[in-house]
């Protein structure tokens, strides 16, 4: 009788021990996402959700509908709920100091994904997992300069105002264009990273400059897809009369390249879930990480789109 109850007690104690040590690793993470403006963004959200599930973590997800104030509210709510870490995809570059100081005071590490922020004190976040947007802009500029033989009129569809993805992609592209005296950006406007706005802005560009336009540089594929439609409606042939290059390399861009409408796209990998959670685990374990975990990008051309489209993951 005594032996049976001892074994029973041992069983309960070990079960309790195993259970508590397992739940110590089952982290709760808050993810302050920007919204769902593009297919790239949707792929990023899915990657982070899938990785949380794979690792057995609880993910608290918030969609800010493109508003910084909503992201700040979400971060404050994650802090109040006592999450173990926060993933932030910052909609704009500035205005984060205050809320990030609150997270730091609460000892909650913040991992930035895809876009960067501009703060004086970089201890306000643990690390940033993102592509180099300036490099992407340079890649796009180099391709365009070469394909227009160093001369022509380019229109630019910018990403949302204040986003690091828009600021840096413009900067890198302009650096290259400025090297060619006969190549110029004749118009540049915010297309908000969406297909609808990209089409609308391209319609206005065509109305103002018509056949003078030699090429379109779009800060993302969705805007380029909208521009393609506008060019067709205007009666010109996208990819031929007007060359187009954009950034992201989503499935839709590959389809447009296969159809001949889009000339090239620069890869910006949205599948950031695995890397982001690796950083979270380092932070929670009290380890360090480089301040920027860079994703490497490359360029895809319509000439090889048919061969590569089948292997695309987003
Ligand atoms: O920050 C990354 C950019 O945001 C992607 O290129 C774009 O598609 C998105 O909406």
The CATH number assigned to the domain holding 69 equals 3.40.50.2300
The reply to whether 18 falls in a domain is no
pLDDT of residue 17: 45
The reply to whether 103 falls in a domain is yes
Q: Which atom of ligand 1 is nearest to the CA of 40?
A: 8
161 and 195 co-located in one domain: yes
144 and 197 co-located in one domain: yes
The reply to whether 17 falls in a domain is no
For β-strands 243-248 and 58-63, DSSP reports them as unpaired
286 and 144 co-located in one domain: no
The reply to whether 7 falls in a domain is no
Cα distance between the two ends of the chain? 62
The reply to whether 22 falls in a domain is no
Q: 221 CA to middle of ligand 1, Å?
A: 9
Alpha-helical (H) ranges within the chain are: 2-25, 39-54, 68-80, 97-105, 133-147, 164-177, 195-209, 221-234, 251-258, 273-284, 305-308
163 and 306 co-located in one domain: yes
- Is 84 touching ligand 1 by the criterion CB < 6 Å? no
DSSP label at residue 242? B
Q: 272 CA to middle of ligand 1, Å?
A: 13
The reply to whether 5 falls in a domain is no
Q: 41 CA to middle of ligand 1, Å?
A: 6
Helix axes 97-105 and 68-80, enclosed angle (nearest 10): 10
Model confidence, pTM: 0.92
47 and 60 co-located in one domain: yes
Q: 269 CA to middle of ligand 1, Å?
A: 10
Q: Which of 32, 33, 40 to mutate to test the pocket of ligand 1 (most atoms within 8 A of CB)?
A: 40
Rg (CA), the chain: 23
Domain count of the fold of the chain: 2
Dihedral sign, Cα of residue 256, residue 261, residue 267, residue 270 = negative
119 and 260 co-located in one domain: no
Q: Which of 33, 38, 168 to mutate to test the pocket of ligand 1 (most atoms within 8 A of CB)?
A: 38
pLDDT of residue 297: 86
pLDDT of residue 147: 97
CA distances (Å), origin 272, targets 2, 123, 197, 241, 312: 55, 22, 26, 36, 15
pLDDT of residue 22: 44
255 and 275 co-located in one domain: no
232 and 275 co-located in one domain: no
Contacts of 208 (CB under 8 A, 6+ apart): 187
CA distances (Å), origin 159, targets 30, 114, 200, 218, 220: 26, 14, 14, 8, 7
pLDDT of residue 8: 53
pLDDT of residue 296: 86
205 and 140 co-located in one domain: yes
The reply to whether 161 falls in a domain is yes
- Is 192 touching ligand 1 by the criterion CB < 6 Å? no
Q: Which of 248, 267, 269, 276 to mutate to test the pocket of ligand 1 (most atoms within 8 A of CB)?
A: 248
Q: Report whether 211 contacts 235 (CB < 8 A).
A: no
- Is 115 touching ligand 1 by the criterion CB < 6 Å? yes
The reply to whether 282 falls in a domain is yes
Tens place of pLDDT per residue across the chain (314 aa): 445 555 555 444 454 444 444 444 799 999 999 999 999 999 999 999 999 999 999 999 999 999 999 999 999 999 999 999 999 999 999 999 999 999 999 999 999 999 999 999 999 999 999 999 999 999 999 999 999 999 999 999 999 999 999 999 999 999 999 999 999 999 999 999 999 999 999 999 999 999 999 999 999 999 999 999 999 999 999 999 999 999 999 999 999 999 999 999 999 999 999 999 999 999 999 999 999 999 988 999 999 999 999 999 99
176 and 307 co-located in one domain: yes
165 and 263 co-located in one domain: yes
161 and 228 co-located in one domain: yes
| Parent domain of 196 | 133-268+300-311
For β-strands 299-301 and 264-267, DSSP reports them as antiparallel
């Amino acid at each position: 009788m005594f032996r049976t109850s001892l074994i029973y007690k041992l069983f309960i104690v070990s079960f309790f021990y195993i259970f508590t040590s397992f739940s110590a690793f089952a982290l709760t993470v808050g993810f302050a996402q920007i919204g769902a403006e593009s297919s790239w963004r949707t792929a990023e959200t899915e990657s982070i959700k899938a990785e949380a599930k794979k690792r057995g973590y609880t993910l608290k997800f918030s969609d800010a509908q493109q508003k910084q104030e909503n992201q700040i509210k979400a971060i404050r709510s994650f802090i109040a709920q006592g999450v173990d870490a926060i993933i932030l995809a910052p909609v704009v570059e500035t205005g984060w100091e205050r809320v990030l100081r609150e997270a730091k005071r609460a000892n909650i590490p913040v991992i930035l994904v895809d876009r960067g922020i501009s703060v004086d004190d970089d201890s306000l976040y643990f690390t940033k997992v993102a592509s180099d947007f300036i490099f992407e802009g340079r890649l796009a500029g180099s391709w365009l300069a070469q394909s227009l033989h160093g001369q022509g009129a380019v229109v630019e569809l910018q990403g949302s105002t204040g986003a690091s993805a828009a600021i840096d992609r413009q900067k890198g592209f302009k650096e290259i264009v400025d090297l060619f005296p006969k190549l110029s950006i004749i118009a540049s406007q915010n297309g908000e990273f969406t297909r609808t706005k990209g089409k609308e802005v391209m319609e206005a560009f065509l109305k103002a400059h018509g056949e003078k336009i030699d090429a379109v540089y779009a800060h993302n594929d969705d805007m380029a897809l909208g521009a393609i439609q506008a060019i067709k409606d205007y009666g010109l042939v996208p990819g031929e009369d007007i060359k187009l290059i954009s950034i992201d390399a989503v499935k839709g861009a590959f389809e447009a390249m296969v159809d001949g409408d889009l000339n090239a796209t620069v890869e910006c990998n949205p599948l950031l879930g695995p890397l982001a959670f690796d950083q979270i685990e380092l932070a929670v374990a009290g380890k360090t990480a480089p301040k920027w975990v860079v994703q490497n990008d490359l360029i895809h051309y319509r000439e090889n789109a048919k061969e590569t489209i089948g292997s695309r993951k987003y």
